[in-house]
């Protein structure tokens, strides 16, 4: 499928056709990926808060024996009347690791959403990967063994994802060694026991990895808008439970209270382990969640905080 | 409540619908009781009540079984496990939901009792049921009531499981005799009754009596005679014969609904006065008579009023001749019957006749004018015009009268000649001028004449004055009574041998012709060999003269095959059915002879209608053949007499109640569907099996 056609489809906003075309496209050529990735801000290398090779100013100190005389800063030396050397802040090119939950619950799609959490997570993951690679940084899969950079990152990532073995455990199966001080972005609905999430985060923290937890949620997961005598069942084999009046306001309120507690608990745990928690609804624009990584959007919508009240 | 005796289970002839028979049998077997609630009656047995709790109980049982809940996949199920569903509603059915099902079972029970609205008494006896139906002309007015009554009686016979016999009393239109049909199954009887129609001739009760006498099959035990309410000499014998066979009930029309007769107006008078007759004398009643033209467009309307106690009345139409000549049909408004319809033909039309009058006519001395005698003779019957030839020929005339005094020039006589050849009738009178051959013009005479006039009563003729001989049967004057005082004193004579039987319409007793005629082209020329005034004879002072003049006018149709020729018979053109509607002639219709026409013989061979062809048609009217109509007379004591119950139909309500029960069940179903509407379909997200053990942790 030509790039021209992609652009045309995205440009004219032929939604139905776009969806259809998108579905027929290989994943990495989904029109939204390019659009979203271009909506993310450029960012520079990460500063290390110590002196080292870089471009950002770190400190100015007196010339010491052994320093390269070419590093003497003329103007500052003249001002201070002694030889001064500028130290730069050490920069490091980031390494990013991506992971997307593969459990069946990620396929749950209600009528209110236009795509399932799995599809949303895939698009966000590839858009972010494309953006990172475009910034000369390296990106790879948490469950993979290599990292890549450059223009064809999205395609490479998609291929890698397709080649991964099934993992419906809800935790990443980390194979290779992770680069110290790298970043990880984990996409999931995080509807799992806290202990399981904590285990994953501990593992990552031990490898020196920090990052973001992106909860991709279907609107019904948050709103719980059901009616009638309903037998709910879990998609991951959790079991089932019957409620005779699913529309009951009490039931909805109590459920949302539980959901809010769970989100808060995950958020606090993430912070303790060096991660940030972001909530992305599948009925909202997917770039919002990614821009939240860059602090350009709220990480958790204000409405979530009002749940259960 | 009457207790009806148990009857053996009946075999219904209507195969599929055995609920009736089955229930009747069951009801009979358990000694069901008849009940009556106002206009509704039926049979009821206590076990039927069990249907109500049975149906309601079954319904309650079905509703108590809980509905399957909707299955819904949900990723947040782990959170739901922490919650308790608070509202444990007991599955109670609200009271109002019991209403439709209770009504449905009540309707079902009602249907089991086989209720009937306006039930009629059961038919007497247990053998076949006979329906004697007067389906002659008099049944047409209230035919629907008879039809409905027949259907109800057949239905009743079916319910009682009895065969039916039908005896229509009017001869069928194919000319076969009246005959009893049956015994028939109720279904067959129903078919026959459906196809029965009133016929446009009187009922043949004698034929009915004969066919009853010849009856070999089982004698009927219940007889209903759907009569036309009219009496004839066979009515009493027929009723006695019926009464000897079984219980007889006679149904008659109410006096206000009885048949009426519209008699044709007198012919040739030019006036349209009609007589209306009715069989029952009673209250005052108004009758509208409508006159329509050939295309059916109403032209005029007249009202006839029956005074209380009167059995006949009259109404007149006062129309100018041009309009009254267009009338084709008179009928009683709102009464579809062959006896309430009169068809008109030429006999009722006033023909236009012209009399040539010159300036010489002496208006001051009317008795000297020949044309005045013509006028006197013809004027009430025809549309008479006088004037010069040119003026007259501008009109459409049937007859042109030329008296002796009329002076006609060469050009005019050529015009007259032309006119006669085109179909007109020229009527000439002799006189001095014709005798003197002043205006002798062979083309305007029927035959060659001798010069001069013959005088009768003088010495030459031996003293006898000319008396008229009776008119030959081939003459248009045939049948006209001769007044004995007519004497002819003077007449013109034809050339020897010129006269013959064919062209002579009237002769004197000595054989000399008095009136001669000849066909000329499409028309004819008629010559009276004497004067139109009393100069040569007193013919013009007599009534015979009037009739002769009218006959000449009537003969002026100008078509071959005149009616005076009795060998000619007229084929039926279009005939009326019992309802007075035109249609093609029936299977038994035969051509009309002059004798049949004169005697007005109405029957399957000669139904009322038009006979002949389009240019020469004769109307044969039913009402002209009926002299009197009398109500049905006294009957044997055992005979019951009733009137047709119009509008009060007996109706079986079983079907309606079953339909009602079904309707209530549907209502219940709709309520259930409405309650379930909020249940969307089950979620289609597939649930997968339990997760594999964690990898790589």
CA distance B692 to chain A (A): 6
In angstroms, the first-to-last Cα distance of chain B is 93
pLDDT digits (tens, 9 = 90+) for A105-153: 999 999 999 899 999 999 999 999 998 888 888 999 999 888 888 888 8
Residue A204, pLDDT score:
94
Q: Do B75 and A241 touch (CB under 8 A)?
A: no
B603/B607 Cα distance (integer angstroms): 5
Q: Do A235 and B685 touch (CB under 8 A)?
A: yes
Whether B171 is covered by a domain: the verdict is yes
Residue of B66, B85, B89 to mutate when probing chain A, most A C-beta within 10 A:
B85
Q: Examine the pLDDT at B690 and tell me if it is beyond 50.
A: no
Q: In what order do the strands lie in the sheet with B341-343?
A: B298-306, B285-293, B327-332, B341-343
Measured in whole angstroms, the distance separating CA B503 from the mean position of its chain's CA atoms is 43
DSSP helix/strand/coil, B348: helix
Two tokens, residue B31: 């000694």
Q: Are residues B576 and B459 in the same domain?
A: no
Q: Do A168 and B688 touch (CB under 8 A)?
A: yes
pLDDT digits (tens, 9 = 90+) for B248-280: 999 998 888 888 999 988 765 556 889 999 988
Q: Do A262 and B688 touch (CB under 8 A)?
A: no
Q: Which of A127-141, A169-183, B56-70, B477-491 has the lowest mean pLDDT?
A: B56-70
Q: Are residues A51 and A190 in the same domain?
A: no
Whether A28 is covered by a domain: the verdict is no
Can you tell me which residue has the tokens 């990552």? A204
pLDDT (average), residues B111-117 = 82
Q: Are residues B175 and B234 in the same domain?
A: yes
Q: Do B691 and A236 touch (CB under 8 A)?
A: yes
Q: Do B85 and A245 touch (CB under 8 A)?
A: yes
The residue count of chain B comes to 697
A166–chain B Cβ distance below 8 A for any pair: yes
DSSP helix/strand/coil, B584: coil
Q: Name the strand (E) or helix (H) holding B101.
A: helix B98-112
Residue B290, pLDDT score:
94
CA distance A36 to chain B (A): 27
Q: Examine the pLDDT at B697 and tell me if it is beyond 60.
A: no
CA distance A267 to chain B (A): 17
Whether B395 is covered by a domain: the verdict is yes
What is the number of domains present in chain B?
3
B68/B71 Cα distance (integer angstroms): 9
B606/B432 Cα distance (integer angstroms): 51
The top-scoring range by mean pLDDT among A222-231, B40-49, B80-89 is A222-231
pLDDT digits (tens, 9 = 90+) for B74-83: 999 999 999 9
Residue B317 pLDDT class (50, 70, 90 cuts) = confident
Q: Do A231 and B72 touch (CB under 8 A)?
A: yes
Whether A104 is covered by a domain: the verdict is yes
Q: Are residues B591 and B456 in the same domain?
A: no
Size of interface A-B (CB pairs under 8 A): 144
Q: Do B74 and A108 touch (CB under 8 A)?
A: yes
Q: Are residues A117 and A83 in the same domain?
A: no
DSSP helix/strand/coil, B513: strand
B396–chain A Cβ distance below 8 A for any pair: no
Do A154 and A129 contact (CB within 8 A), yes or no?
yes
Domain span including residue B177:
129-257+630-647
CA distance A254 to chain B (A): 7
Whether A61 is covered by a domain: the verdict is yes
B412/B390 Cα distance (integer angstroms): 7
Q: Do A173 and B693 touch (CB under 8 A)?
A: no
Residue B18, pLDDT score:
43
CA distance A294 to chain B (A): 29
Q: Are residues A163 and A80 in the same domain?
A: no
Q: Are residues B509 and B605 in the same domain?
A: no
Q: Examine the pLDDT at B647 and tell me if it is beyond 70.
A: no
B138/B201 Cα distance (integer angstroms): 9
Residue, of B174 and A232, whose pLDDT is higher: A232
Whether B95 is covered by a domain: the verdict is no
Residue B79, pLDDT score:
94
Residue of A116, A235, A257 to mutate when probing chain B, most B C-beta within 10 A:
A235
What is the number of domains present in chain A?
2
Domain span including residue A150:
39-45+93-305
Whether A7 is covered by a domain: the verdict is no
Residue B567, pLDDT score:
57
B242/B248 Cα distance (integer angstroms): 7
Chain B from 621 to 680: CB within 8 A of any A CB: 678-680
Q: Which of A201-215, A225-239, B37-51, B386-400 has the lowest mean pLDDT?
A: B37-51
Q: Are residues B240 and B145 in the same domain?
A: yes
Q: Examine the pLDDT at B20 and tell me if it is beyond 50.
A: no
Q: Are residues B516 and B374 in the same domain?
A: yes
Q: Are residues A177 and A287 in the same domain?
A: yes
Q: Are residues A81 and A206 in the same domain?
A: no
DSSP string, B608-648: SEEEE-SSSEEEE-SGGG-----B-----TT-EEEE--SS-
A194–chain B Cβ distance below 8 A for any pair: no
Nearest residue in B to A243, CA atom: B85
Residue, of B45 and A189, whose pLDDT is higher: A189
Residue, of A275 and B436, whose pLDDT is higher: A275
A105/A214 Cα distance (integer angstroms): 15
Strand segments, DSSP code E, in chain A are 46-51, 57-62, 84-92, 95-100, 138-141, 147-148, 183-188, 210-217, 230-233, 240-243, 275-281
Nearest residue in A to B72, CA atom: A232
CATH code, domain with B197: 3.40.50.410
Hey, how many other C-beta atoms are within 10 angstroms of the C-beta on B580? 25
Do B89 and B69 contact (CB within 8 A), yes or no?
no
Q: Are residues B479 and B573 in the same domain?
A: no
B460-489 burial by CB neighbour count: b if 16+ within 10 A, else e? eeeeeebebeebeeebbbeebebeeebbbb
Two tokens, residue B500: 């013959």
Mean pLDDT (chain B, rounded): 82
Whether B88 is covered by a domain: the verdict is no
- Spatial neighbors of B578 by CB under 8 A, at least 6 apart, are B135, B136, B137, B139, B140, B143, B197, B198, B199, B200, B337, B338
Q: Are strands B247-252 and B222-226 parallel, antiparallel or unpaired?
A: parallel
| Phi, psi values for residue B569, rounded to 5° | -120, 145
Q: Are residues A56 and A118 in the same domain?
A: no
| Phi, psi values for residue B302, rounded to 5° | -135, 155
Residue B592, pLDDT score:
84
Do B370 and B356 contact (CB within 8 A), yes or no?
no
ipTM score over 0.85, yes or no: no
Measured in whole angstroms, the distance separating CA B435 from the mean position of its chain's CA atoms is 57
Chain A from 95 to 114: CB within 8 A of any B CB: 103-105, 107-109
DSSP helix/strand/coil, A127: helix
Residue B431 pLDDT class (50, 70, 90 cuts) = confident
Q: Are residues A125 and A251 in the same domain?
A: yes
Q: Examine the pLDDT at B692 and tell me if it is beyond 60.
A: no
Residue B563, pLDDT score:
47
Residue B685, pLDDT score:
52
A84/B530 Cα distance (integer angstroms): 174
Q: Which of A49-53, B18-22, B634-638 has the lowest mean pLDDT?
A: B18-22
Residue of A229, A246, A257, A259 to mutate when probing chain B, most B C-beta within 10 A:
A229
Q: Examine the pLDDT at A5 and tell me if it is beyond 70.
A: no
CA distances, B593 to each of A78, B267, B555, B568, B618 (Å): 157, 20, 18, 7, 11
Residue of B75, B83, B677, B692 to mutate when probing chain A, most A C-beta within 10 A:
B75
A261/A255 Cα distance (integer angstroms): 10
pLDDT (average), residues B657-664 = 92
Q: Are residues B430 and B546 in the same domain?
A: yes
Q: Examine the pLDDT at B429 and tell me if it is beyond 60.
A: yes
CATH code, domain with B476: 3.40.50.880
Do A303 and A309 contact (CB within 8 A), yes or no?
no
Q: Do B78 and A191 touch (CB under 8 A)?
A: yes
Whether B301 is covered by a domain: the verdict is no
Residue A45, pLDDT score:
63
Report pTM. Answer: 0.52
A215–chain B Cβ distance below 8 A for any pair: no
pLDDT digits (tens, 9 = 90+) for B583-640: 888 888 888 887 777 777 888 989 999 988 776 788 899 998 888 888 988 888 888 8
Mean pLDDT (chain A, rounded): 86
A163–chain B Cβ distance below 8 A for any pair: no
User: Which of A103, A170, A255 faces B83 most closely, judged by CB atoms?
Assistant: A255
A157/A30 Cα distance (integer angstroms): 13
B389/B407 Cα distance (integer angstroms): 10
A257–chain B Cβ distance below 8 A for any pair: no
Q: Examine the pLDDT at B21 and tell me if it is beyond 70.
A: no
Q: Do A255 and B77 touch (CB under 8 A)?
A: no
Whether B86 is covered by a domain: the verdict is no
pLDDT digits (tens, 9 = 90+) for A227-253: 888 999 999 999 999 998 898 899 999
pLDDT digits (tens, 9 = 90+) for B531-581: 998 988 999 999 899 989 988 887 776 433 344 445 567 888 889 999 999
B82/B307 Cα distance (integer angstroms): 100
DSSP helix/strand/coil, B250: strand
**∠ at Cα A71 (A70, A77), nearest 5°?**
105
- Spatial neighbors of B231 by CB under 8 A, at least 6 apart, are B630, B631, B632, B633
Residue B367, pLDDT score:
62
CA distance A176 to chain B (A): 10
Residue B74, pLDDT score:
95
Q: Are residues B204 and B253 in the same domain?
A: yes
Q: Are residues A127 and A247 in the same domain?
A: yes
Can you tell me which residue has the tokens 């038994």? B588
Instruction: Specify the DSSP class assigned to residue B347.
Output: G
Nearest residue in B to A257, CA atom: B79
Whether B216 is covered by a domain: the verdict is yes
B67–chain A Cβ distance below 8 A for any pair: yes
Burial of B559 (0-12, 13-18, 19+ CB in 10 A): exposed
Do B152 and B117 contact (CB within 8 A), yes or no?
no
Q: Are residues A296 and A196 in the same domain?
A: yes
Residue B359, pLDDT score:
55
Q: Are residues A181 and A298 in the same domain?
A: yes
Q: Are residues B585 and B535 in the same domain?
A: no
Measured in whole angstroms, the distance separating CA B115 from the mean position of its chain's CA atoms is 38
Residue B480 pLDDT class (50, 70, 90 cuts) = confident
Q: Identify which of B120, B143, B165 has the alpha carbon closest to the alpha carbon of residue B253.
A: B143
pLDDT digits (tens, 9 = 90+) for B125-169: 888 999 999 999 999 999 998 998 998 899 888 888 899 999 999
Do B331 and B341 contact (CB within 8 A), yes or no?
yes
Q: Name the strand (E) or helix (H) holding B153.
A: helix B143-159
Strand segments, DSSP code E, in B430-558 are 449-455, 490-494, 504-507, 513-520, 523-528
B670/B678 Cα distance (integer angstroms): 14
Q: Are residues B390 and B526 in the same domain?
A: yes
Whether A190 is covered by a domain: the verdict is yes
- Among A77, A92, A107, the domain-final residue is A92
Two tokens, residue B351: 């023909």
Instruction: Please confirm whether the linkage preceding B183 is cis (ω < 30° from 0).
Output: yes
Q: Are residues A71 and A157 in the same domain?
A: no
Do A184 and A99 contact (CB within 8 A), yes or no?
yes
Q: Do A241 and B82 touch (CB under 8 A)?
A: no
Whether B236 is covered by a domain: the verdict is yes
CATH code, domain with A109: 3.40.50
Residue, of A194 and B458, whose pLDDT is higher: A194
Whether A113 is covered by a domain: the verdict is yes
Measured in whole angstroms, the distance separating CA A57 from the mean position of its chain's CA atoms is 30
- Identify all chain B residues contacting A233, using CB atoms and an 8 Å cutoff: 71-74, 77, 687
A145–chain B Cβ distance below 8 A for any pair: no
Residue B277, pLDDT score:
92
pLDDT cut 90: percent of chain B above it: 27
Residue B1, pLDDT score:
42
Do B16 and B5 contact (CB within 8 A), yes or no?
no
Q: Identify which of B536, B488, B526 has the alpha carbon closest to the alpha carbon of residue B509.
A: B488
Instruction: Specify the DSSP class assigned to residue B117.
Output: E
Q: Are residues A99 and A80 in the same domain?
A: no
pLDDT cut 70: percent of chain B above it: 84
pLDDT (average), residues A186-202 = 95
Q: Do A245 and B87 touch (CB under 8 A)?
A: yes
pLDDT digits (tens, 9 = 90+) for A14-32: 444 445 555 556 777 788 8
């Amino acid at each position: 499928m030509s790039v021209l056609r992609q652009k045309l489809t995205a440009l004219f906003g032929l939604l139905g056709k776009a969806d259809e075309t998108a579905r027929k496209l290989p994943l990495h050529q989904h029109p939204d990926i390019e659009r979203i990735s271009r909506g993310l801000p450029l960012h520079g290398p990460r500063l290390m808060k110590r002196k080292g090779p870089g471009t950002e100013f770190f400190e100015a100190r007196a010339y010491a024996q052994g320093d390269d005389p070419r590093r003497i800063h003329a103007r500052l030396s003249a001002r201070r009347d002694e030889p001064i050397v500028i130290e730069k802040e050490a920069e490091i090119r980031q390494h990013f690791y991506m992971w997307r939950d593969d459990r069946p619950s990620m396929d749950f799609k209600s009528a209110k959403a236009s795509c399932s959490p799995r599809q949303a997570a895939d698009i966000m993951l590839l858009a972010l990967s494309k953006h990172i690679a475009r910034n000369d940084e390296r990106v790879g899969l948490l469950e993979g063994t290599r990292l890549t950079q450059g223009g064809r990152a999205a395609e490479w990532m998609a291929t890698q994802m397709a080649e991964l073995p099934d993992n419906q455990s809800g935790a990443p199966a980390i194979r290779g060694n992770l680069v110290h001080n790298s970043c990880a972005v984990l996409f999931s609905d995080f509807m799992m026991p806290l202990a399981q999430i904590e285990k994953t985060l501990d593992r990552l923290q031990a490898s020196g990895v920090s990052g973001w937890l992106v909860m991709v949620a279907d609107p019904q997961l948050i709103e719980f808008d059901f009616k009638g005598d309903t037998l709910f069942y879990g998609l991951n084999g959790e079991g089932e439970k019957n409620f005779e009046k699913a529309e009951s306001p009490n039931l909805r309120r109590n459920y949302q209270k539980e959901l809010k507690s769970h989100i808060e608990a995950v958020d606090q745990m993430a912070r303790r382990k060096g991660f940030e928690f972001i909530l992305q609804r599948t009925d909202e624009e997917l770039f919002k969640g990614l821009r939240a990584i860059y602090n350009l959007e709220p990480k958790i919508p204000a409405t979530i905080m009002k749940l259960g009240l | 409540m009457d207790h009806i005796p148990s009857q053996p289970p009946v075999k219904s002839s209507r195969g599929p619908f055995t609920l009736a028979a089955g229930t009747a049998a069951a009801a009979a077997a358990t000694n069901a009781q008849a009940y009556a609630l106002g206009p509704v009656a039926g049979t009821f047995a206590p076990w039927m009540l069990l249907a109500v709790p049975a149906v309601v109980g079954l319904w309650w049982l079905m509703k108590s079984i809980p509905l399957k809940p909707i299955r819904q996949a949900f990723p947040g199920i782990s959170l739901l496990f922490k919650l308790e569903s608070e509202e444990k509603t007991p599955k109670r059915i609200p009271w109002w939901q019991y209403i439709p099902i209770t009504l449905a079972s009540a309707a079902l029970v009602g249907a089991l009792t086989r209720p009937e609205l306006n039930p009629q008494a059961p038919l007497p006896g247990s053998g076949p049921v006979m329906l004697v139906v007067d389906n002659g002309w008099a049944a047409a007015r209230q035919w629907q009531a008879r039809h409905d009554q027949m259907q109800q009686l057949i239905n009743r016979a079916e319910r009682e499981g009895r065969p039916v016999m039908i005896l229509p009393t009017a001869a069928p239109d194919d000319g076969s005799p009246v005959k009893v049909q049956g015994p028939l199954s109720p279904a067959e009887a129903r078919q026959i009754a459906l196809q029965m129609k009133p016929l446009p001739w009187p009922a043949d009760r004698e034929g009915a009596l004969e066919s009853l006498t010849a009856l070999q099959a089982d004698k009927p035990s219940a007889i209903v005679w759907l009569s036309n309410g009219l009496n004839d000499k066979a009515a009493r014998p027929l009723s006695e014969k019926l009464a000897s066979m079984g219980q007889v009930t006679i149904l008659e029309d109410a006096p206000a609904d009885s048949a009426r007769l519209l008699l044709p107006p007198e012919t040739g008078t030019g006036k349209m006065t009609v007589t209306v007759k009715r069989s029952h004398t009673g209250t005052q009643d108004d009758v509208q008579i409508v006159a329509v033209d050939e295309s059916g467009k109403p032209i005029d309307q007249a009202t006839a009023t029956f005074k209380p106690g009167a059995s006949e009345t009259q109404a007149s139409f006062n129309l100018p001749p041009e309009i009254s000549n267009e009338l084709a049909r008179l009928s009683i408004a709102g009464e579809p019957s062959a006896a309430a319809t009169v068809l008109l033909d030429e006999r009722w039309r006033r023909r236009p006749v012209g009399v040539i009058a010159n300036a010489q006519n002496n208006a001051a001395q009317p008795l000297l004018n020949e044309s005045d005698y013509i006028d006197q003779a013809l004027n009430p019957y025809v549309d008479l015009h006088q004037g010069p030839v040119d003026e007259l020929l501008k009109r459409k005339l049937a007859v042109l009268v030329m008296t002796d005094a009329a002076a006609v020039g060469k050009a005019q006589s050529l015009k007259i000649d032309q006119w006669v050849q085109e179909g007109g009738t020229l009527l000439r009178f002799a006189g001095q001028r014709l005798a003197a051959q002043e205006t002798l013009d062979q083309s305007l005479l029927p035959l060659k004449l001798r010069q001069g006039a013959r005088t009768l009563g003088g010495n030459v003729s031996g003293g006898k004055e000319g008396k008229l001989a009776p008119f030959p049967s081939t003459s248009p004057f045939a049948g006209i009574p001769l007044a004995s005082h007519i004497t002819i004193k003077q007449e013109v004579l034809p050339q020897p041998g010129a006269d013959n039987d064919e062209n002579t319409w009237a002769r004197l007793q000595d054989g000399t012709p008095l009136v001669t005629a000849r066909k000329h082209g499409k028309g004819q020329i008629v010559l009276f060999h004497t004067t139109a005034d009393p100069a040569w004879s007193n013919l013009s002072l007599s009534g015979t003269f009037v009739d002769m003049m009218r006959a000449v006018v009537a003969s002026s149709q100008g078509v071959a095959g005149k009616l005076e020729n009795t060998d000619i018979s007229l084929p039926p053109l279009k005939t009326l059915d019992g309802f007075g509607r035109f249609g093609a002639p029936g299977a038994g219709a035969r051509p009309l002879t002059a004798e049949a026409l004169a005697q007005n013989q109405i029957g399957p061979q000669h139904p009322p209608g038009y006979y002949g062809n389009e240019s020469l048609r004769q109307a044969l009217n039913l009402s002209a053949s009926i002299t009197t109509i009398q109500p049905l007379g006294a009957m044997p004591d055992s005979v019951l007499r009733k009137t047709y119950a119009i509008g009060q139909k007996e109706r079986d309500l079983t079907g309606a109640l079953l339909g009602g029960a079904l309707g209530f069940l549907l209502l219940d179903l709709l309520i259930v569907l409405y309650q379930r509407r909020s249940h969307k379909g089950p979620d289609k997200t597939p649930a997968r099996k339990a997760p594999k053990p964690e990898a790589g942790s």
